[in-house]
C-alpha cells in the first residue's frame, strides 16, 4: 500500500551463531521471523538462554545477524537507533548514585537535541521522586528512571530487556502502569520477560522463544487456546500410566513428580475415564491449564519435535 507505515520491526530469517565453551558454533537465534506493527505491545517470552537478548541486541543494531534481515521502521536498526526512533531500557546499572532523579534526566537530556525533560519525568511517573538521590531509589524506582531516560529521544518504539527483573510485585505494577500509559498513546513496545503473568497482563501479543526458535506467536488467549484443555494428573504406577496413555489417542505422560504422574491429552475426559475405569490410579485430578502449563506444553512439544 503506498504511504502505509512500515512495520516497527521486521525480522526475516534472522540467525545469530555463537561459539560455545567447547569451541562449537551454535545458533543462539535460529531462523527467526516476525513483524511488529506500530502500536503493538509484544512480550518476548522465554527461559534463560532462549535468545531474547541476542534478538534485542540485533534489533537495536548492537550486533549483526549472521543471516537474515532486520529493519526497524523500514530502515537499518542502527539508523533507527541513531535517530531516536527506537530506544531501550536495559537492566544494567550505569546510574550515578549521587545525582538526583531530576539531575540525571537533565544530564542525559542534554545529549538529545529535542529532549523534553519534564515530559519524560512525568511520563515515567517520577514527578514526586525528582529530588531523591538515585542512590536512595528502590530497584523499581531506578528502573522507572531508566525508562524516563529511554523516553528522552521521544521514541516511537521502546524495547525493554527484562525490565522488572528482581522487582517486587508493587514495583512491577508501578513500572508497568507507566509503560502502559505510554503504550496507550501509541508507542510500540517490545519487552523480554521470564514471567508469563507479566506477558499475560501487559502484552497484546506473546512471542515465545526457546533455544533460539519461535515456539508460538499469538495473543495470550490464542496461546492458551492452542493448548486448551486440562492437565490431568494421578497417583499411579508407571506401568498403569503407560496402559492408560496407550488406550487414549493423543495422550502422553508429561512428567512424574514423586508418586504423581502428569499427563497431556487432547481429550482429557477420555483420559480421565481410562485412568478411573481401567487402572488403580488414585487422587485423579484435572486442572484447567494456565499459561504456565501452555508454556511447558509448547516447549515439551518442541523438544519432542527435535528428537
Binding site for ligand ATP (CB under 6 A): 18, 28, 46, 48-54
In 3D space, the residue among 209, 220, 219 whose CA is nearest the CA of residue 59 turns out to be 209
d(CA 34, CA 13): 9
- Tell me the backbone φ, ψ of residue 13, rounded to 5 degrees: 55, 40
Q: Where are the alpha helices (DSSP H) in the chain?
A: 52-59, 77-82, 101-109, 117-123, 139-151, 169-184, 196-202, 220-226, 238-247, 268-278, 291-306
State which residue, 50 or 271, has the beta carbon closest to ligand ATP. 50
State which residue, 54 or 279, has the beta carbon closest to ligand ATP. 54
CB of 18 to ligand ATP, least distance (A): 3
State which residue, 50 or 183, has the beta carbon closest to ligand ATP. 50
CB of 49 to ligand ATP, least distance (A): 4
State which residue, 28 or 129, has the beta carbon closest to ligand ATP. 28
d(CA 94, CA 112): 18
Residues 6+ apart with CB under 8 A from 44: 52, 55, 56, 190, 191, 192, 193, 207, 209
CB of 48 to ligand ATP, least distance (A): 4
CB of 61 to ligand ATP, least distance (A): 16
**DSSP 8-state assignment for residue 191:** E
CB of 139 to ligand ATP, least distance (A): 17
In 3D space, the residue among 300, 212, 201, 307 whose CA is nearest the CA of residue 253 turns out to be 300
In 3D space, the residue among 248, 251, 253, 241 whose CA is nearest the CA of residue 280 turns out to be 241
State which residue, 189 or 261, has the beta carbon closest to ligand ATP. 189
Residues 6+ apart with CB under 8 A from 236: 244, 261, 275, 279, 280, 281, 282
CB of 28 to ligand ATP, least distance (A): 3
State which residue, 55 or 268, has the beta carbon closest to ligand ATP. 55
- DSSP symbols for 106-120: HHHHTTSTT--HHHH
CB of 20 to ligand ATP, least distance (A): 7
Per DSSP bridges, beta strands 213-218 and 205-210 are antiparallel
State which residue, 50 or 148, has the beta carbon closest to ligand ATP. 50
State which residue, 32 or 115, has the beta carbon closest to ligand ATP. 32
Contact (CB, 8 A) for 83 and 124: no
CB of 258 to ligand ATP, least distance (A): 29
Amino acid at each position: 500500500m503506498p504511504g502505509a507505515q512500515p512495520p516497527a520491526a521486521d525480522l526475516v530469517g534472522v540467525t545469530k551463531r555463537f561459539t560455545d565453551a567447547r569451541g562449537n558454533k551454535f545458533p543462539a537465534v535460529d531462523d527467526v521471523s516476525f513483524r511488529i506493527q506500530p502500536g503493538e505491545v509484544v512480550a518476548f517470552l522465554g527461559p534463560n538462554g532462549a535468545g531474547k537478548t541476542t534478538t534485542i541486541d540485533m534489533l537495536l543494531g548492537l550486533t549483526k545477524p549472521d543471516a537474515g534481515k532486520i529493519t526497524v521502521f523500514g530502515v537499518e536498526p542502527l539508523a533507527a537507533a541513531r535517530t531516536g526512533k527506537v530506544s531501550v531500557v536495559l537492566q544494567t546499572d550505569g546510574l550515578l548514585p549521587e545525582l538526583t532523579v531530576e539531575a540525571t534526566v537533565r544530564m542525559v537530556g542534554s545529549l538529545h537535541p529535542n529532549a523534553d525533560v519534564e515530559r519524560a519525568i512525568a511520563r515515567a511517573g517520577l514527578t514526586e521522586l525528582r529530588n531523591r538521590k538515585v542512590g536512595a531509589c528502590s530497584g523499581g524506582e531506578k528502573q522507572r528512571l531508566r525508562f524516563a531516560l529511554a523516553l528522552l529521544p521521544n521514541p516511537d518504539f521502546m524495547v525493554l530487556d527484562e525490565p522488572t527483573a528482581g522487582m517486587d510485585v508493587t514495583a512491577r505494577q508501578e513500572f508497568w502502569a507507566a509503560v502502559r500509559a505510554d503504550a496507550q498513546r501509541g508507542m510500540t513496545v517490545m519487552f523480554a520477560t521470564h514471567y508469563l503473568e507479566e506477558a499475560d497482563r501487559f502484552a497484546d501479543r506473546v512471542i515465545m522463544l526457546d533455544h533460539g526458535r519461535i515456539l508460538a506467536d499469538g495473543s495470550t488467549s490464542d496461546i492458551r487456546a492452542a493448548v486448551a484443555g486440562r492437565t490431568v494428573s494421578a497417583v499411579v504406577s508407571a506401568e498403569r500410566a503407560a496402559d492408560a496413555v496407550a488406550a487414549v489417542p493423543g495422550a502422553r505422560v508429561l512428567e512424574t513428580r514423586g508418586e504423581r504422574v502428569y499427563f497431556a491429552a487432547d481429550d482429557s475426559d477420555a483420559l480421565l475415564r481410562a485412568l478411573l475405569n481401567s487402572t488403580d490410579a488414585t487422587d485423579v485430578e484435572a486442572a484447567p491449564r494456565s499459561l504456565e502449563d501452555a508454556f511447558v506444553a509448547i516447549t515439551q512439544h518442541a523438544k519432542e519435535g527435535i528428537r
